[in-house]
Structure 1
Amino acid sequence: PAPKVSFFSPGEESDTVFVSHCLEVEESIVDLRFGLKGKIDAVLVVDVWDKDVTHRLQNFVLPFELKTGRRTSASRLRDRAQVMLYALMMSGHNRRQDASPYGMLMYLRECTLE
């Protein structure tokens, strides 16, 4: 079975995200529009299901970043910005017509996912 990740907001039930598969590991990406380049830890295909896991709502291709250090408020802001830039770069990349505006960030030390 595919790994399952659930996202929750206080007081709300949320949709469920399944990681379908990994398309690339350490993918180099260049965006000439912004003059940026980077190396995405992994490019994942994820399926978003309703809270009861009875209907698939969407399918996304998104960047996934792994961080080994301790999560601080400063590093969290920087790391989230990095993932957002990768998502933006993927959306303009010719090979990534199916890219989403979302990304995933995991801190291995705390085992937290954003």
Structure 2
Amino acid sequence: MRDRFCLREKRKEIEWDEKLYKQYGDEFDSNVDLIHELVYHATAAVNLLCDRIRDEIDHGYRFDEGHVSVTRGPNEFFRFEHFRPSYADENRASGDPYPGLVEIKKYVADAQGRHL
């Protein structure tokens, strides 16, 4: 698996220590959520780029393929979820729709009920 990026689950590498196990588990969950959010934004950026190419250069660009999507799962109901990420119109109009890593980390921490 040298050509893959894998998150290290430190909680599986230690002797039982409830406090440390929870800390490592929370860190792992935060990293997973952060990666999901970054992939979501990267896909939204690709879709924005494709839209701009269609608008300004080639109206048929990726016409047959459609938009780029993200699949996540299986969820708790053993189903896969499909998303087509895009930036909101007001973010697109700003000229800089990507909020940046600091804002994404803050969003993930807030969603988990934690503060950075």
TM-score, structure 1 length as denominator?
0.29
Name whichever structure is richer in strand by fraction: 1
Q: Which has the larger radius of gyration?
A: 2
Q: Give the TM-score normalised by structure 2.
A: 0.28
